[in-house]
Amino acid sequence: MRSATSALLFAAALMLAACEGHPSDSSQVPAVPATDAMRIAALRDAAKANGFVRAESLRVTVDPARREAGRLIFASPQMSLNGNISCRDCHLDEFGSTDGLPNAVGAGATGHGPARMAKSEGRILPRNVLPFWGRGSKGFATFFWDGKVEVRDGRVVSQFGDSAPSDDPLVVAAHLPSVELREMVADTPSVRDTLVTEEVGAAETVQAELARRFATDPEIGPRLAAAYRLPAGKLAFGHVADALAGFIRDEFRIRPTPFERFVFDAGPISRQQLAGGLLFYGRGRCAACHRGPYFSDFDFHAVAFPQAGFGKNGFGIDEGRYNVTFDPADRFRFRTPPLYNLSSTGPYSHSGSLVRIEDAIVAHFDPLRLVDPKKMDLRARTDLYARLGPASREPLPAALTDDEVRALAAFLTMLDFKKP
């Protein structure tokens, strides 16, 4: 199964590389300026009514010294128990803070992009790398595809149970990759014998070692100690995670977009983008889930995207939110993804199965267009039928024409921005 999965994912990665620079057909359409004042006003009003705000209002100020320590930690392979993978290896600027692959490749991998999958012995992970845009900013408090870290009723709910290491959900989320098997911990017999348990104590053992490494690192240790005004011997993994969270929160904050300039500063918009925006908030029903300042309701929904790779539950199946709640009603539901910088953060969906933004849109209302059931075995078809049921109960759009799909994709490019 490993060989077949690798071939599938590598083929998808090569497709992405071939499409790089051309994320959507809409990029080839001349941008004819829109002049219809009534429709322009309607789109601005709809955006505001659905919670869109200026990027600056979402920013959370972070301590500069802690941010700088976090920057060094983010790029350091010492963050992994085996010392061979850093956060930066899977969250790259050239791929919009993702890795450019359908599924992530974890501990033991080398290289970036398709080379990371083709030329290394890293373990393929079951899900697509999520971008970092907006994480930990105001109101952004639900993390990962399945929401395994979230704020509920004023408290952080996570795999730590009643032993959450922080009341900041981003700091809690920053704790998890370092103890995730195959992600940042190599899957070896010795690791399985000593650390693969359901107890928080096993995670604490790993993280105590990571904290010791950072405390004694000649560059990171003094900066981390100074940032928290502690002697190096008093540093714990909580300080490491807090510094890392501070860096992520500031480095990947939402910045002004063309859509912000359109809504609040009378900026320009093309006719195609205007048509797409009106569809987004109107008949397309995109804003039923993609609303608010991050274009996400932070709830969990089912869309029958094609499944790539072996899936979180194995055998090409990923049951999404169910893996966290064990509630059958949550099968195949995933957190609504925010929509910033889509042009550079593909492939799309929880399994990275779609290269084009247009296809990701089509999956919401006509998922069978994207698969060939005749080429699927019985198990894969059965899984598809199971996913179609929950998806049919979602507030998904009615059938859209190809021109409408392209207009929506053009509108979404207005949510792109670049870091300075």
Model confidence pLDDT, tens digit, residues 199-209: 677 788 899 99
Assess whether pLDDT exceeds 70 at residue 253.
Answer: yes
Assess whether pLDDT exceeds 60 at residue 147.
Answer: yes
Mean pLDDT confidence for 358-376: 95
CATH of the domain at 199: 1.10.760.10
Residues spanned by the domain of 167: 60-91+132-251
* Lowest-confidence segment of 102-106, 153-157, 202-206, 245-249 by average pLDDT: 202-206
pLDDT of residue 18: 39
Same domain, 391 and 332: yes
pLDDT of residue 22: 41
Same domain, 267 and 237: no
pLDDT of residue 420: 81
Same domain, 222 and 299: no
170 domain-assigned: yes
- Domain boundary residue, one of 227, 251, 275: 251
- The more confidently predicted of residues 14 and 153 is 153
Give the pTM: 0.90
Confidence of residue 31 (pLDDT cuts 50, 70, 90): confident
In angstroms, the CA 353 to CA 9 distance is: 9
- Domain boundary residue, one of 234, 251, 268: 251
Task: Give the rounded percent of residues in the chain with a pLDDT score beyond 70.
Answer: 90
Same domain, 52 and 65: no
Assess whether pLDDT exceeds 70 at residue 145.
Answer: yes
Confidence of residue 196 (pLDDT cuts 50, 70, 90): low
185 domain-assigned: yes
Same domain, 216 and 294: no
- The more confidently predicted of residues 390 and 419 is 390
Phi, psi of 157 (to 5 degrees): -110, 130
Residue pair 145/298 in contact by the 8 Å Cβ criterion: no
pLDDT of residue 187: 75
294 domain-assigned: yes
For helices 220-228 and 64-74, the axis angle rounded to 10 degrees is 150
Assess whether pLDDT exceeds 70 at residue 367.
Answer: yes
341 domain-assigned: yes
pLDDT of residue 191: 64
- Domain boundary residue, one of 251, 277, 300: 251
In angstroms, the CA 234 to CA 213 distance is: 13
Q: Is 252 helix (H, G, I), strand (E, B) or coil?
A: coil
Same domain, 293 and 184: no
Q: Is 419 helix (H, G, I), strand (E, B) or coil?
A: coil
Confidence of residue 16 (pLDDT cuts 50, 70, 90): very low
Same domain, 69 and 50: no
295 domain-assigned: yes
Q: Which residue has the tokens 């100020």?
A: 61
Same domain, 165 and 265: no
pLDDT of residue 392: 93
Same domain, 76 and 165: yes
Model confidence pLDDT, tens digit, residues 167-191: 999 999 999 999 998 899 887 766 6
Assess whether pLDDT exceeds 70 at residue 11.
Answer: no
Among 47, 124, 127, 181, which residue's Cα sits nearest to residue 337? 127
106 domain-assigned: no
Exposed (0-12), middle (13-18) or buried (19+): which is 1, by Cβ within 10 Å?
exposed
Same domain, 81 and 180: yes
Mean pLDDT confidence for 235-257: 98
Same domain, 321 and 212: no
117 domain-assigned: no
Segment (H or E) for 238: helix 237-251
Q: How many domains does the chain have?
A: 2
Same domain, 334 and 377: yes
274 domain-assigned: yes
In angstroms, the CA 193 to CA 124 distance is: 21
Assess whether pLDDT exceeds 50 at residue 330.
Answer: yes
pLDDT of residue 348: 98
Confidence of residue 34 (pLDDT cuts 50, 70, 90): confident
- b (16+ CB within 10 A) / e for 186-212: beeeebeeebeeeebeebbebbeebbb
Model confidence pLDDT, tens digit, residues 282-295: 999 999 999 999 99
- The more confidently predicted of residues 111 and 119 is 111
